[in-house]
Chains A and B, each alone.
Chain A
Amino acid sequence: MDKIIRRHHWQQTRRMTGWLLLLWLVTTFCAAFFARELNNLSIFGWPLSFYLAAQGASLVYLAIIGFYAWRMRRLDRQARAAARIKP
């Protein structure tokens, strides 16, 4: 595969990984560190902090991995298509 295509693919992968990791970090840290502050808010009848720690954060993690798998498949396909056009 062409070097430029590879580099472009890797740049996109790295950028997306970075953003998703930031989302992971913010979710985890906020849910844990500000739990007392969030306890007075409520969501569907639950205290927000309890909901986040027991379900919300884990569902965000699942969404992150799901999005990553879907988007990486597209990036891989694009890179392969680009390599075919430019032999």
Chain B
Amino acid sequence: MTERSFASKLRRYYLLFTAGFGGFLLSLTLLEQEGMPRIWIGYLFMFATIVLYAILGVLSRTSNVLEYYVAGRKVPAMFNGMATAADWISAASFISLAGGLYLHGFDGLAYIMGWTGGYVLVALLIAPYLRKFCQYTIPDFLAMRFGGAGGANGEDNPAGRVVRIMAVMATIIVSFTYVVAQIYAVGLITSRFTGVDFSVGIFLGLASILVCSFLGGMRAITWTQVAQYIIILVAFLLPAIWMSVKLSDNPIPQVAYGKLLPKLSAREAVLQADPKEAEVRAIFQQHADDYQQRLDNLPASWEAGRRDAQRRLDQVKTRNASLLDIRSAERALIAYPKNPEIAASEWTEAHAYNLARARPINPHAEPYAGDAETSAIKRNNFVALVFCLMLGTVALPHILMRAYTTPSVHETRQSMVYALFFILLIYLTIPAMAVLVKYDIYTALVGSDFNHLPGWVSYWANVDKLTPLFSITDVNRDGVVQLAEITIDADVLVLAAPEIAGLPYVVSGLVAAGGLAAALSTADGLLLAISNALSHDIYYKIVDRHASTQKRVTISKLLLLGVAFIAAYAASQRPGDIISLVGAAFSLAGSTLFPALVLGVFWKRANHQGAVAGMIAGFAVCLYYMLHANPVLGGSVTGQWFHIAPTSAGIFGVPAGLLVMVVVSLLTPPQDSQTSALVDYIRAPEK
């Protein structure tokens, strides 16, 4: 079959798929109007999409090495772009990013810039050269480039082996933290929308991931990811377009919210000046001051507080008050901190919480709000974060792997353009979504009567009891909603947006399915990156050079299974720490792999010693800074250099890696003529 007819056939299939998906949505809308209960819509969406991915996986099963590792190198540029976009749009970008922008305004846009600008580096510096190199993994490239001539059998020489193992370790560290976060998101979405237990949700999602990548490797996940991208796109654009029409009569949200932004700023100014808002903020300030006072008087304040709680309980008991009052007094005594140390940490937290809620409104469009010094620190952190995210993008193995799957170097370059285009369809809508929802909440919800709250408010306030996603309490008891009385979690915004906009519940189900698709597609790519690194780079290249192709694929599938279960187990432990380390993984990956990858192509003089030293230096500087400056990891805020947050450690790690790599390369002899020929080859135009 020629490439062109293959591409047109694919186009026909996916058009059919999109039409079928539209029909599915339509019929569910009709069913909802006929009175089908909400929970069934949730079930149908979850199971229909998971079964769909499984079918795609079964249809494209394979045991061929080339198909399994690089999808036979015949994915047309447009489809490779879609699959890359699905790889890229993770649960975090689909679910949390718009919420983050809602909460942080301009300062959150660092993620939009960083996660799109990285593609310039991938497309210009790495992807086309990897395709020309025409192997299977990233460690393949580094081992060949920095290892020099291998043995007759194609195995690495010892120098290449060292580089390969280091690259594999970097690949696994970053992919694993990332994949745990995705599986965690799968658990959250399925448990919230179908009511099944969190860990059951995890294993349901895991099953769909496994059927797909286990049976068909890269080939299966590519075709599944294209389908997943279509679902992600529909799920994200539909509510945004609807809100945009509703609030500004313009169906293109990316254009429409430009008009809303000045209106939003005007509304913010009105709310900021509102005396009722000031009253609520003053109440929170009062609470914060109380906690501060108690903290200052520890341990006497702890003693006094406990006596108070005890006395209150005695009072209600002697007064013969209602059972309800006695219960609540008992509960207050039980919940009281057990000793002054616990009291100190609890009160510090409560103080910070109340202080945060007492803060004035942060204007959405204003960059780096605050006095001159805070503003400068915020600005520097913004710049550092943007560059870190960009450099980290270059080192993400599941994205780079995609460079190998197209038919030619030219198509790899083209597929990068498509990838960024498809990513931007979502990423340019995310800030729009944040502004649209914010405007709706600021104008419709704020100022409404507490007795007539819309239905979604109580629904989302009750979804997760432990960490409320949405809360609203009448703090000043005037019966009217003030902005300062609302708290909203970053994760809930996109999921609740259809209901906030007054759309039928079907759209909420669709959005959940979109979030699930985003998490599953990214998890697919990452798991495959890990298992390929283990099976191809460790097992085939180092342990057993004579393994048959059949054996290699089987080993890879078994490893995939093992890694998937370890990741699912890690995610089922609800590891808050790992989730917060995802940002850090970007920095670590960038610092370790970026210098070696880029200098490997663009600087012939770069040699083995330089690469090893550069990778170690980048990794070490990055890790040192994180440990030194992150309170969670045992460092302290005073350890920060130039007030840069530890997540952006890559901003020091990458230059350190580059510098060390250049210096060590210059101090040691250049590599042999074979390496030089290799570099010439990957730079040369295709025949």
- The yes or no answer to B47 lying at the interface (CB within 8 A) is no
Q: Are B368 and A10 in contact (CB under 8 A)?
A: no
Q: Are B109 and A65 in contact (CB under 8 A)?
A: no
Q: Are B119 and A53 in contact (CB under 8 A)?
A: no
Q: Are B124 and A58 in contact (CB under 8 A)?
A: no
- The yes or no answer to B37 lying at the interface (CB within 8 A) is no
Q: Which residues of A contact B416 (CB under 8 A)?
A: 65, 69
Compute how far the CA of A51 lies from the CA of B259 in the bound complex, rounded to whole angstroms: 12
**22 intermolecular pairs with C-beta atoms under 8 Å apart:** A1-B684, A1-B685, A6-B685, A10-B683, A14-B602, A28-B113, A32-B383, A32-B386, A36-B367, A45-B262, A46-B261, A50-B109, A53-B367, A55-B254, A55-B431, A61-B117, A65-B120, A65-B416, A69-B410, A72-B410, A72-B413, A80-B687
Interface string of A32-48 (1 = CB under 8 A from B): 11011001000011110
Chain A residue with the shortest CB-CB distance to B380? A33
Compute how far the CA of A31 lies from the CA of B113 in the bound complex, rounded to whole angstroms: 9
- Chain A count of residues within 8 A CB distance of the other chain: 44
Interface string of B352-383 (1 = CB under 8 A from A): 00000000000001111000000100010011
Compute how far the CA of A17 lies from the CA of B409 in the bound complex, rounded to whole angstroms: 16
Q: Which has the most chain A C-beta neighbours within 10 Å: B116, B413, B414, B685? A: B685
- A contacts with B: majority SS: helix
- B contacts with A: majority SS: helix
Contact residues of B between 538 and 585, Cβ < 8 Å to A:
none
Contact residues of B between 119 and 140, Cβ < 8 Å to A:
119-121, 123-125, 128
- The yes or no answer to B586 lying at the interface (CB within 8 A) is no
Q: Are B254 and A61 in contact (CB under 8 A)?
A: no
Q: Which residues of A contact B365 (CB under 8 A)?
A: 39, 47, 50
Compute how far the CA of A44 lies from the CA of B424 in the bound complex, rounded to whole angstroms: 20
Compute how far the CA of A20 lies from the CA of B428 in the bound complex, rounded to whole angstroms: 22
Contact residues of B between 76 and 135, Cβ < 8 Å to A:
106, 109-110, 112-113, 116-117, 119-121, 123-125, 128
CB contact under 8 A between A61 and B116, given known A54-B428, A72-B410: yes
Closest 5 CB pairs of A and B: A35-B367, A53-B109, A69-B413, A76-B685, A54-B431
What 20 new A-B contacts, CB under 8 Å, besides A50-B106, A73-B413? A10-B683, A20-B124, A21-B124, A28-B117, A32-B382, A32-B383, A36-B367, A36-B375, A39-B365, A46-B261, A47-B261, A51-B258, A53-B110, A53-B367, A54-B109, A58-B116, A62-B420, A68-B123, A69-B417, A75-B685
Contact of B258 among A1, A46, A49 (CB under 8 A): A46
Contact of B368 among A36, A46, A68, A72 (CB under 8 A): A36
Compute how far the CA of A3 lies from the CA of B540 in the bound complex, rounded to whole angstroms: 36
Q: Are B112 and A58 in contact (CB under 8 A)?
A: yes
Chain B residue with the shortest CB-CB distance to A78? B685
- The yes or no answer to B427 lying at the interface (CB within 8 A) is yes
* Minimum distance in angstroms from A80 CB to a CB of chain B: 6
Q: Are B417 and A62 in contact (CB under 8 A)?
A: yes
Q: Are B119 and A61 in contact (CB under 8 A)?
A: yes
Chain A residue with the shortest CB-CB distance to B416? A65
CB contact under 8 A between A33 and B379, given known A9-B684, A24-B120, A65-B420: yes
Compute how far the CA of A13 lies from the CA of B684 in the bound complex, rounded to whole angstroms: 10
- The yes or no answer to B34 lying at the interface (CB within 8 A) is no
Compute how far the CA of A1 lies from the CA of B685 in the bound complex, rounded to whole angstroms: 9
- The yes or no answer to B274 lying at the interface (CB within 8 A) is no
Q: Which residues of A contact B261 (CB under 8 A)?
A: 45-47, 50
Q: Are A54 and B686 in contact (CB under 8 A)?
A: no
Q: Are B368 and A58 in contact (CB under 8 A)?
A: no
CB contact under 8 A between A6 and B684, given known A65-B124, A69-B414, A72-B128: yes
